[in-house]
Structure 1
Amino acid sequence: MAAIKKTAEATPPDYWAEACKHLTKRDRVMRRLIPQVGDVAPYPRGDAFSTLARSIVGQQVSVASAQRVWDQFAALPRSMTPRSVLKLKVDDMRAAGLSARKVEYLVDLALHFDSGQLHVKQWGQMDDAAIVAELVAIRGISRWTADMFLIFHLARPNVLPLDDTTLIQGISRHYFSGDPVSRSDAREVAEAWKPWCSVASWYIWRSLAPLPVDY
């Protein structure tokens, strides 16, 4: 994970203010958290291929390790495109710090993009479930990764990432006094969040880790 940097071009999703207004009216926890967290929002950036490639590189390693390996890997191709990645030598990718499995995942990701198996240009008109189905067919892309991509890259407003342990911890803390929370419990809480589950999830995350991050 890496800190989101605001740039002159970056703007929060256009629905953010409306979502916050809705949530503060409908949910007692959001009524408290949103003012506490303050004026922060995710700023979508980067292209789809690089975003997913970074998610693969960052799996099961620390933030610092993920950044170091990414920097070394990103220096290999002329540009971070599927076609350029497919031209790389496996030995060079391994020398950049990637495991054999992550090399396989990155190659599969590049193949999916390069072959046209992914309907990237149509994602804006496709529903969340259809996009998730395309993404999880790629080796190394889990449902969690797909949900994070929907929220942080595509800025989809109503994603409830139930595979995210930090979200479940936050729901436990804020709604159940720290008691264990099931997926069913989380869904029940999120009924009040609809149609802005992504925004509510963001504020739960921020309440536990104040610095904005992307995934």
Structure 2
Amino acid sequence: MDTTVQLEGPYNFDQSLKRLAFDPLNSLDREKRTLKMPILIKGKPVVVTLRATGTTEKPTFHLTADANWDKDAILTRVYEIMHFDVPLKRMTGHYENTDLYPLMKQSEGVPFITDFQLYGCLMKTIIHQQLNMAFATTLTERFVKTYGTQKEGAWFYPDPETVSGLDVQQLRELQFSGRKAEYVIQTSEKIAAGHLDLDGLRPESEERIVEKLTALRGIGRWTSENFMMFGLGRMDLFPAQDIGVQNALKQFYHLDQKPSLDWMEKKSADWKPYRSYVTLYLWNSLENGIV
């Protein structure tokens, strides 16, 4: 496959690469403006190389992948992951008459790029629970590089069948806690056995997804909401329990202390229907010093 995609601007791919570069598992080159996307098509690994050839205001991308794969299936998945079809300028305009507008305008055109593999997203989210970002990233990298596979320079997470066959001690050797190792293995067992179909969650309501995921040991609402954002690409999630979101709101609104969950729930009710983007831009505000 060798094709070019032209989008309606703005689409700030360079800012997205900056965020993606925090994860050492991502294969990218900020100077060449390229990203290797390890995706699954009908369960088979495919690496799509995406290169930005346009500007933020006039975005164009050159995509290449193995010619043996279905071009339409690849493009459908790339559009899902990259949010190529989200009207980012219109989304910013939605907040023009709100107190959030300076925040949204500052990050205008920055897309919410989801994780490349659905199962990998759930594993990463479980691993990241209640850990600081640096160690969570290191632990995830160890997990993938020990049990996953590399193709054309891009890393694929191990499949659930592989992880369900591990024992707790094997993950403890990577510095997993015993409990977190159990959560990862037991969740993988459910998926491998067909008791949890991650792709089958796509059409479900958010509350139904939360209900199904939190029924599993070790998965709470924070994990479920992050999976829906970064895995399923849901546009209107607001993880009020996220420490980064709380700190960003404290900074943006010049509060004396982090806001309460009740305050955030009431405030965020007015931010529909793009609260996942509000969340992303709040995170960006911490990283970029926006006040």
User: Is 2:156 the partner of 1:140?
Assistant: no
Superposition pairs for residues 105-184 of structure 1, below 5 Å?
Answer: 105-175=183-253, 177-180=254-257, 181-184=259-262
Paired residue type of 1:88: L
Larger Rg: 2
TM-score, normalised to structure 2's length? 0.63
Q: CA shift at 1:126, angstroms?
A: 0.7
Q: What is the DSSP-based 3-state SS (H/G/I as helix, E as strand, rest coil) of the residue aligned with 1:191?
A: helix
Larger relative contact order (CA 8 Å, sep ≥ 6): 1
Structure 2: runs of 5 or more not aligned: 1-17, 22-33, 36-49, 51-77, 150-157
Greater percentage in helix:
1
Greater percentage in strand:
2
Number of matched residues? Answer: 207
Query: Residues 112 and 118 of structure 1 are in contact (CA less than 8 Å); yes or no, is this contact kept in structure 2?
Result: yes
User: What's the counterpart of residue 21 of structure 1?
Assistant: 93
Once residues 26 and 109 of structure 1 are traced to their aligned partners in structure 2, the CA distance between those partners, rounded to angstroms, is 44
TM-score, normalised to structure 1's length? 0.82
Once residues 87 and 256 of structure 2 are traced to their aligned partners in structure 1, the CA distance between those partners, rounded to angstroms, is 30
User: What's the counterpart of residue 20 of structure 2?
Assistant: 4
Structure 1: runs of 5 or more not aligned: none
Once residues 113 and 35 of structure 1 are traced to their aligned partners in structure 2, the CA distance between those partners, rounded to angstroms, is 40
Change in Cα spacing, 1:204 to 1:16, as seen in structure 2 (3 Å) is farther
Once residues 147 and 58 of structure 1 are traced to their aligned partners in structure 2, the CA distance between those partners, rounded to angstroms, is 13
Q: Cα deviation per residue 1:52-111 (whole Å; 9 max; x = unaligned)?
A: 212222334343433333333324436511111122243322222222111111111102
Q: CA shift at 1:20, angstroms?
A: 1.9
Query: Residues 26 and 192 of structure 1 are in contact (CA less than 8 Å); yes or no, is this contact kept in structure 2?
Result: no
Once residues 60 and 191 of structure 1 are traced to their aligned partners in structure 2, the CA distance between those partners, rounded to angstroms, is 26
User: What's the counterpart of residue 59 of structure 1?
Assistant: 129
Mean Cα deviation higher: 180-189 or 149-158: 180-189
User: What's the counterpart of residue 69 of structure 1?
Assistant: 139
Identity of aligned residues (%): 25
Mean Cα deviation higher: 9-18 or 187-196: 9-18
TM-align CA RMSD: 2.6
